[in-house]
Amino acid sequence: MRPMYINGRFTNGNSKEAIEVQNPATEEILDSVPRGTPEDIEAAVGAAKSAFDAWRKLGANERANLLHEVAEKVHAHRGEIARLLTLEEGKPISENEEEVDWVLNTFRYYAELGRHHRGSVLAAGSSSQFNFIVKEPYGVVGCIVPWNYPLLLMAWKVAPALAAGNTVVIKPSEMTPLTALYLAEHCFDNLPAGVINVVTGYGLETGEPLVKHPDVPVIAFTGSLATGQKIASIAAPMMKKLHLELGGKDATVIAEDADPEVAAKAVAYAALINAGQVCTSTERVYLPRRGASKFTEAIVEHVKSLRLGSGLESSTDMGPMIGETYRAKFESQIADAKSHGAKILAGGGRPKNLTRGFFHEPTVLSGVDHSMVIMRDETFGPAVPLMEYTTFDEAIKLTNDCKYGLGAVLISNDAKKIKQFFDDVKAGTIWINDPLTDHYAGPFGGMKYSGGARELGEEGLDEFRETKHVHWDFNLEDKEYWYPYGR
């Protein structure tokens, strides 16, 4: 069993039970971790709180050097981390190598941004005054991380939180805790004790006590809308700062000028990377009625060519889903669509040649509409539902016909359509011809029910800093506008 990491030490804490971690490609047990308790959260928060004052007062250069050292350690262990990610999470190792690169470069990016500035100087109201803005850390940040990108989405929170001067308690998903503990052992060991803590366990036993803890003023969470709403309801009476990146139901619109073959590859990548288990996965595809048959034929042909298998095999294009519960939910959406008239053009079931693991064929559907669950609710599975539109205005209306607003994709070289698309679509990220490509300096986050948090960029750093205005008058003298007014 791999122990938790609290106050610079590995410990089983108060746990009397273990959580088994399963390989989703083979269903084999990889390892186990402690089933954390509220008492373990108490210990981790206490350690983080004790470490906060010294960490926030650390010089910017020294803190940046420590974060750079974390990045170098991640780089040195890149191969082992990518392999462990593949074993516990399932996606192809090439995708996990990219995830590890994102982790180390995120720490590098915020190491530098953290020492770039702490605020700004304002033009003074008079010659004897000095006005400036200082951005300060909150204290202890609770980071609740999902299973689909267990290190990338951790780094997007932890790196800016630390760079801003906060300390953190990480609660990884109980399905993918091994890589977080690996980083604690091999990559975070240079940091002062208590600055980073990792507590494993289930949501009710560790996640909820972390949200409720009075000494945790910030909760950073990526996950489902339902869980985000629960966190918000718990945190509201304590006026906590919430950093919530919630669900998505992203659309891809293919314009009439798009090349069918290129569009097919773009859609397949956007919809099927990590078996569609990405918050920004394309889950709705809108095709122009004129020429739809060519796009449909190209997409179906391309999806049928993709290879399923273990993420450790270099030839694998798509790995398994994370678990049976998630696969069953996905299958229920496919069944609902079929029962309401949708047609399966490719896939539609479990692959017959893979009897172990939580695999599902990438599935292309036509004849879908917004009355179907698969076009309304988050799918989080390998589906490519195709719906036709008549005018580009209609395509934009369909794209916006959703409670989520995380991202949206347009495949086109028509400048007028591109301008109209990014002007009129209500989403936090708009991708033109290059779906799901993020930028370290470009803020990532959603609108509407996808939450209002922003990760990456300077906005990502400001999520973990609160603003203080200082008004300083050099002259300590009686001011004419003080009492009494009648003098």
- Indicate whether 234 and 254 sit together in one domain: no
Read off the pTM. Answer: 0.97
Enter the DSSP assignment of 374. G
Task: Tell me if 44 sits within 8 A of 73, measured CB to CB.
Answer: no
**Residue 74 has what pLDDT?**
98
Does residue 83 lie in a domain region?
yes
- Indicate whether 276 and 422 sit together in one domain: yes
Residue 355 CB partners (closer than 8 Å, separation 6+): none
**Residue 487 has what pLDDT?**
77
- Indicate whether 124 and 268 sit together in one domain: no
- Indicate whether 75 and 144 sit together in one domain: yes
- Indicate whether 220 and 301 sit together in one domain: no
Token pair listed for 85: 């990610």
Write the DSSP string, 262-290. HHHHHHHHHHHGGGG-STT-EEEEEEEST
Range of the domain at 207: 4-246+451-471
**Residue 106 has what pLDDT?**
98
Does residue 438 lie in a domain region?
no
Report the CATH number that the domain containing residue 455 is assigned in CATH. Answer: 3.40.605.10
What stretch of H or E contains 224?
A: none
Token pair listed for 196: 């980073």
Residue 216 CB partners (closer than 8 Å, separation 6+): 45, 139, 140, 141, 142, 169, 210, 240
- Helices marked H in 273-343 — which ranges? 292-304, 324-339
- Indicate whether 38 and 147 sit together in one domain: yes
What percent helix, strand, coil does the chain show, rounded to 5? 40, 20, 40
- Indicate whether 283 and 212 sit together in one domain: no
- Residue 148, SS3? coil
Residue 122: count of CB within 10 angstroms of its CB:
14
Among 77, 74, 105, residue whose Cα is nearest residue 191: 74
Beta bridge partners of 132: 121, 470
Point out the residues of the chain with pLDDT beneath 70. Answer: none
- Indicate whether 32 and 124 sit together in one domain: yes
Active site residues: 245, 279
Does residue 240 lie in a domain region?
yes
Q: What is each CA distance from 386 to 47, 296, 345, 363, in whole angstroms?
A: 51, 8, 10, 11
Token pair listed for 220: 């950073």
Instruction: For residues 397 and 400, give the distance between their C-alpha atoms in angstroms, rounded to a whole number.
Output: 5
Q: Domains in the chain: how many in total?
A: 2
Does residue 411 lie in a domain region?
yes
- Indicate whether 134 and 281 sit together in one domain: no
Instruction: For residues 210 and 169, give the distance between their C-alpha atoms in angstroms, rounded to a whole number.
Output: 8
Q: What are phi and psi of 401, to 5 degrees?
A: -80, 65
- Indicate whether 254 and 242 sit together in one domain: no
- Indicate whether 204 and 278 sit together in one domain: no
Token pair listed for 268: 């397949």
Report the CATH number that the domain containing residue 290 is assigned in CATH. Answer: 3.40.309.10
Placement of tokens 């070289």 in the chain: 413
**Residue 355 has what pLDDT?**
93
Does residue 443 lie in a domain region?
no
Cα maximum dimension of the chain: 94
